[in-house]
Amino acid sequence: MSTDLVEITKTLQDQYLGALTAAQDTFLETYAKVTATADKYVPAELRTPVKDLPIEPKAAIDLGFGFVSQILDAQRSFAERILATTPLVAPSAATPKAAASSK
């Protein structure tokens, strides 16, 4: 039964990530068209050169996502430590049906 749950979960995760990627691709295509059109109408003096930004855009992405990655790692470690201190039924324990038939 748990294998079925794992398979269903993995399938749903794959479907979600596929839908997310498709939505991102659609957004990027639309964004490229809009910015190409807007580029014709925005005067140069209204544009901020990258050198005048307080941080380079790529560095901002790396900084933000690097921090989020550290948070996820810390949360995973915390969840694993909770699991390690929780008394659980051993995975190899006999199911009630199997235990009843062995009597």
Does residue 67 share a domain with residue 42? no
Residues 55 and 30 in one domain: no
Asked if residue 34 and residue 14 are part of one domain, the reply reads yes
Asked, for residue 89, whether it belongs to a domain, the answer is no
Residue 57 in any domain: the answer is yes
Q: Is residue 96 part of a domain?
A: no
Residue 55 sits in the same domain as residue 34:
no
Distance, in Å, from the CA atom of 30 to the CA atom of 36, rounded to the nearest integer, reads: 10
Quick one: 13 and 41 in the same domain? yes
Kindly indicate the confidence band of residue 90, based on its pLDDT and cuts at 50, 70 and 90.
low
Length of the chain: 103
Select, from the ranges 2-6, 20-24, 91-95, the one with the highest average predicted confidence (pLDDT).
20-24
d(CA 83, CA 92): 17
Q: What is the structure's pLDDT at 89?
A: 60
pTM over 0.85: no
Task: Indicate the Cα dihedral angle 47, 48, 50, 56, nearest 10°.
Answer: -120
Do 50 and 57 form a contact (C-beta atoms < 8 A)?
yes
pLDDT of residue 62: 97
Does residue 72 lie in a domain region?
A: yes
User: How far apart (Å, rounded) are the C-alpha atoms in residues 33 and 42?
Assistant: 15
What's the total number of domains in the chain?
2
Q: Which domain holds residue 7?
A: 1-47
